C-alpha cells in the first residue's frame, strides 16, 4: 500500500545507515560533496536510535544493507562490482551480498520443494545438500536426480520474500513521489517510472517458472558462443518457488587468487565477459541483466558459466541500432554523430544545441582514450555525465535502464579481472560487426523486404481498410462522393501487387 506510512520505512532506512556507520563510509567512498555528507548526517543523527542493528560481525555498509532487506541488497550487489566508483575496500566488503548471505533452514527448503512439486523429496533426489549459496531472493542446494544420477542445482525462494520486496518497493514509490514534489527538476529523470520498471523486474524474478523459461531461451541463443556455457533447466522439477537446472562446476568469478592458481588468463576472461554481453544485447536483443560475479563461474576448461536468470533484458531492433551507433560513435570519437543519434532517437529535446551537446559528450569520452584504465575515475565520469543529462533536459529512458545498469555491472566485473581493460577497444570488434550487418545498404534491403512481407499479409484487407479511411475523410471534408464500385477494385489490385512484392522479397532475403 503506497501511502504516508512509508515515511517510517524511509526514516528507518536513514537511521539504520547512521546507526551502523554505513552512511559515512558510503558517502566517503563515493567522494560525495561535503554539503551532501553534512545534510545526510544531520538528518540521520536524531533518528539513529530507531535504526536496525544488523549483524555486528559484518562491516558497516554490508551490515546495514543486509539488515534493511532484499531490495537494498540488490543495490549493494551492483555497487560491489564497481571498485572504481566506491573504492576497492568497500567493493570487496559488498561482495558478501552476492551469494554469502545467511541461508534459511534446510528443513524449510525441503518442505517447500515437496509442496511445490507434489512429490516426496527422496523420490526426486537421491542426494540433497545443505545450502551452497544464499543471496537476496533465494538459496541453492546441490542435488542428484534419483532417476538418472545427474548432478543438479536446486534453487528455492526465501519464505515470504515477495512480501518483503513489496514493503521496500512501496517505500521507494513514496520516496519517488516526494522527490518529484520537492524537486520539479527531477521529473525529467522520471523517478516513478524507474521504480515501476524496478518493480516489474523484481516481481518477475520471484516466479521461478519465468526464470526457467529465460534459462532455456538464453541457452538456445548462446549455444554456439565459444567459451560460454549456460546450464539448462530441468522442467519437470521446476515450479513457481523451485527451479532445478544442470549443476555448474567452476571457480567463482570474484576469486582472482583461485583463477590465477588454476592458470586462467584474467585479461582474456575480462575481454570475453564484456564482449559476450555486447553480443547478446546487440545480436540477440536478449541479455543476462544480473551479470555480477556471484552469477558467473570459470569452468576448468576456461569457459565462463552464467547462471541465475531471474533478471533478463530485451531490446527491440530499433533500440539495438541506436545503442550500437552511439557506442560506435564513441569508439570512433565521432561525438557529432553520437549527438545526432541522440537527437534522432528523441533522447534529447529538439530545441537544444546539437553542437554544444557534442562538445559535452567529448568531455565524457576523451578521458578514456589514450589513458590507462586504472587511472580513469568512473565516479567522476558518471557525475559529469549526470550533469550533461540535466543540462540538456534528457529524460530517463525506462527501456534502457536495464541495459545501462547491466553495462555498469559488466564493466565492473571486467575491471575486477583486468584493472587495465579499455572498454572501447574491447567493444570495437563486436560493435563494428553489428554495424556492418545492421546499418547500411544490406540492412536497408532487408528492412524493405520485411516491410513488404508485412504489407503483403494485409493485402486482402487493404481495400476495406483504405476505403473506410477515405469515407471517414470524406465525411469530415465533404468532398465529391467516393465511388464505391471503383475503389475496391483498385485496392484489390494494390493488395495483389503488395502480396507479389512480399513473395519476391522473401525469395531474395
Instruction: Encode pLDDT of 128-158 as tens digits.
Output: 999 998 877 889 999 999 999 999 999 999 9
Range of the domain at 268: 249-439
Q: Is residue 208 part of a domain?
A: no
Instruction: Tell me the pLDDT band of 509, cut-offs 50, 70 and 90.
Output: very low
Q: Of these residues, 99, 168, 170, 290, which one is catalytic?
A: 290
Domain end residue (candidates: 439, 469, 490): 439
Does 223 reside within a domain? Answer: no
- Top mean pLDDT of 17-31, 215-229, 307-321 is at 215-229
Candidate from 120-124, 224-228, 264-268, 468-472 with smallest mean pLDDT: 468-472
What average pLDDT does the segment 281-307 reach?
Answer: 91
Q: What is the pLDDT of residue 482?
A: 44
* Cα–Cα distance for residue pair 228/241, rounded to 1 Å: 27
Q: Please state, in angstroms and rounded to a whole number, the distance separating the CA atoms of residues 419 and 416.
A: 6
Q: Regarding predicted confidence, which is higher, 123 or 376? A: 123
For cell 517447500, what's the residue?
A: 112
Q: How far is 443 from 449, CA to CA, in rounded Å? A: 10
- Burial grade of 214 (CB within 10 A; 0-12, 13-18, 19 or more): buried
- Residue 483's pLDDT band, with cuts at 50, 70 and 90, is very low
> Which of 418, 439, 460 is the C-terminal boundary of a domain?
439
Inter-residue long-range contacts of 455-462, CB under 8 Å, 24+ positions, other chains counted: 455/498, 455/501, 455/502, 456/498, 456/499, 456/500, 456/501, 456/502, 456/503, 457/502, 458/495, 459/494, 459/495, 459/496, 459/498, 459/499, 459/502, 460/495, 461/495, 462/491, 462/494, 462/495, 462/498
Do 420 and 451 lie in one domain? The reply is no
Residues 418 and 352 in one domain: yes
Would you place residue 492 in the very low, low, confident or very high pLDDT band (cuts 50, 70, 90)? very low
Helical axes 398-417 vs 266-279, angle rounded to 10°: 170
Tell me the pLDDT of the chain averaged across its residues.
79
CA 227 to chain centre: 22
Residues 297 and 254 in one domain: yes
Residues 347 and 455 in one domain: no
CA distance 354 to 334: 13
My answer on whether 484 and 430 are in the same domain is: no
Q: Would you say 199 and 155 are in contact if contact means Cβ atoms under 8 Å apart?
A: no
Determine, yes or no, domain membership for 132.
no
Q: What are the pLDDT digits (tens) for 219-251?
A: 999 999 999 999 999 999 999 999 999 998 999
Alpha-carbon span 413 to 294, nearest angstrom: 10
Tell me whether residue 485 is one of the annotated catalytic residues.
Answer: no
Segment (H or E) for 151:
strand 151-157
> pLDDT digit string (tens) for 390-422?
677 776 666 666 787 788 788 888 988 998 888
Residue 469 lies in a domain: yes
22: which 3 cell numbers? 554505513
- Residue 268's pLDDT band, with cuts at 50, 70 and 90, is very high
- Statement to judge: residues 398 and 495 lie in one domain: no
HSE-CB of 452 using CA atoms within 13 angstroms: 20
The pLDDT of residue 371: 60
Say what the pLDDT of residue 271 is: 94
Please check whether residues 416 and 460 belong to one and the same domain.
no
Read off the pLDDT band of 6 (50, 70, 90). Answer: low
**Domain endpoint, select from 99, 130, 152:** 99
- 81-85, 124-128, 337-341: range with highest mean pLDDT: 124-128
Q: Are residues 34 and 58 in the same domain?
A: yes
CA angle 67, 68, 71 (to 5 degrees): 125
Dihedral, 396, 397, 401, 403 alpha carbons, nearest 10: -140
Nearest 5°: the CA angle 308, 314, 316 is 165
| Pair 422, 411: CB distance under 8 Å | no
What angle, rounded to 10 degrees, do the helices at 191-205 and 398-417 form? 70
Of 91-100, 106-115, 357-366, give the lowest mean pLDDT range.
91-100
505 has a pLDDT exceeding 50: no
CA-CA distance, 493 to 176, in Å (whole number)? Answer: 55
Check residue 315 and give its pLDDT.
87
Residues 425 and 279 in one domain: yes
> Residue 312: enclosing H or E segment and its boundaries?
strand 312-314
pLDDT of 425-473, one tens digit each? Answer: 888 888 888 888 877 666 666 667 667 777 677 667 777 777 787 787 7
Distances (CA, A) of 432 to 283, 329, 368, 438, 442: 12, 10, 19, 10, 15
Same domain, yes or no: 333 and 435: yes
The set of cell numbers assigned to 164 is: 518483503
Cα–Cα distance for residue pair 66/177, rounded to 1 Å: 25
Q: Are strands 125-134 and 251-252 parallel, antiparallel or unpaired?
A: unpaired
Distances (CA, A) of 60 to 18, 162, 442, 489: 9, 26, 56, 77
Choose from 12-21, 104-113, 205-214 the range with maximum mean pLDDT.
Answer: 104-113
- How far apart (Å, rounded) are the C-alpha atoms in residues 66 and 62? 6
**Residue 495: predicted pLDDT:** 42
Domain-located, residue 220: no
Q: For residue 242, tell me if it sits in a domain.
A: no
> Same domain, yes or no, for 314 and 422?
yes
Q: pLDDT tens-digit profile of 376-390?
A: 555 555 556 666 776
Are 433 and 450 found together in one domain?
Answer: no
Mean pLDDT of 293-310: 91
Query: Would you state the cell numbers that stand for residue 118, as one nine-digit string?
Result: 507434489
Specify the number of domains making up the chain.
3
Please check whether residue 244 lies inside any domain of the structure: no
Amino acid at each position: 500500500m503506497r501511502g504516508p506510512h512509508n515515511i517510517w520505512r524511509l526514516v528507518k532506512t536513514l537511521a539504520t545507515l547512521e546507526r551502523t556507520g554505513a552512511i559515512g563510509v558510503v558517502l566517503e567512498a563515493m567522494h560525495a560533496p561535503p554539503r551532501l555528507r553534512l545534510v545526510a548526517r544531520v538528518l540521520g543523527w536524531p533518528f539513529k536510535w530507531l535504526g536496525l542493528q544488523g549483524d555486528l560481525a559484518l562491516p558497516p555498509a554490508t551490515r546495514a544493507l543486509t539488515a534493511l532487506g532484499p531490495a537494498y541488497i540488490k543495490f549493494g550487489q551492483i555497487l560491489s562490482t564497481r571498485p572504481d566508483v566506491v573504492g576497492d575496500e568497500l567493493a570487496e566488503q559488498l561482495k558478501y551480498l552476492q551469494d554469502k548471505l545467511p541461508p534459511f533452514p534446510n528443513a524449510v527448503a525441503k518442505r517447500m520443494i515437496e509442496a511445490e512439486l507434489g512429490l516426496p523429496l527422496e523420490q526426486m533426489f537421491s542426494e540433497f545438500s545443505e545450502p551452497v549459496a544464499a543471496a537476496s531472493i533465494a538459496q541453492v542446494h546441490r542435488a542428484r536426480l534419483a532417476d538418472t544420477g545427474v548432478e543438479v542445482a536446486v534453487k528455492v525462494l526465501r519464505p515470504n520474500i515477495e512480501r518483503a520486496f513489496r514493503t521496500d518497493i512501496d517505500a521507494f514509490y513514496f520516496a519517488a513521489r516526494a522527490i518529484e514534489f520537492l524537486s520539479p527538476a527531477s521529473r525529467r529523470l522520471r523517478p516513478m517510472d524507474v521504480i515501476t520498471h524496478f518493480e516489474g523486474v523484481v516481481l518477475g524474478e520471484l516466479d521461478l517458472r519465468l526464470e526457467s523459461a529465460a534459462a532455456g531461451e538464453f541457452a538456445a541463443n548462446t549455444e554456439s558462443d565459444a567459451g560460454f556455457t549456460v546450464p539448462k533447466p530441468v522442467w519437470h522439477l521446476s515450479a513457481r518457488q523451485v527451479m532445478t537446472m544442470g549443476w555448474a562446476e567452476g571457480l567463482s568469478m570474484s576469486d582472482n587468487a583461485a583463477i590465477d592458481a588454476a592458470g586462467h588468463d584474467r585479461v582474456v576472461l575480462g575481454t570475453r565477459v564484456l564482449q559476450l554481453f555486447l553480443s547478446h544485447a546487440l545480436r540477440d536483443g536478449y541479455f543476462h541483466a544480473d551479470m555480477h560475479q556471484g552469477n558467473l563461474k570459470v569452468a576448468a576448461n576456461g569457459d565462463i558459466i552464467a547462471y541465475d536468470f531471474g533478471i533478463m533484458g530485451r531490446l527491440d531492433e530499433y533500440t539495438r541500432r541506436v545503442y550500437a551507433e552511439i557506442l560506435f560513435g564513441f569508439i570512433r570519437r565521432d561525438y557529432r554523430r553520437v549527438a545526432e543519434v541522440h537527437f534522432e532517437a528523441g533522447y534529447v529535446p529538439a530545441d537544444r544545441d546539437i553542437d554544444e551537446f557534442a562538445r559535452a559528450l567529448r568531455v565524457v569520452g576523451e578521458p578514456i582514450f589514450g589513458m590507462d584504465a586504472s587511472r580513469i575515475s568512473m565516479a567522476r565520469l558518471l557525475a559529469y555525465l549526470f550533469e550533461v543529462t540535466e543540462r540538456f533536459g534528457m529524460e530517463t529512458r525506462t527501456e534502457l535502464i536495464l541495459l545501462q545498469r547491466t553495462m555498469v555491472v559488466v564493466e565492473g566485473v571486467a575491471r575486477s579481472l583486468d584493472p587495465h581493460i579499455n572498454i572501447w577497444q574491447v567493444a570495437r570488434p563486436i560493435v563494428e560487426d553489428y554495424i556492418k550487418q545492421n546499418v547500411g545498404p544490406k540492412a536497408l534491403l532487408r528492412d524493405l523486404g520485411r516491410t513488404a512481407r508485412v504489407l503483403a499479409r494485409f493485402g486482402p484487407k487493404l481495400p476495406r481498410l483504405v476505403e473506410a479511411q477515405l469515407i471517414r475523410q470524406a465525411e469530415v471534408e465533404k468532398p465529391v462522393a467516393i465511388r464505391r464500385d471503383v475503389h475496391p477494385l483498385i485496392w484489390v489490385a494494390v493488395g495483389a501487387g503488395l502480396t507479389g512484392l512480399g513473395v519476391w522479397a522473401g525469395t531474395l532475403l
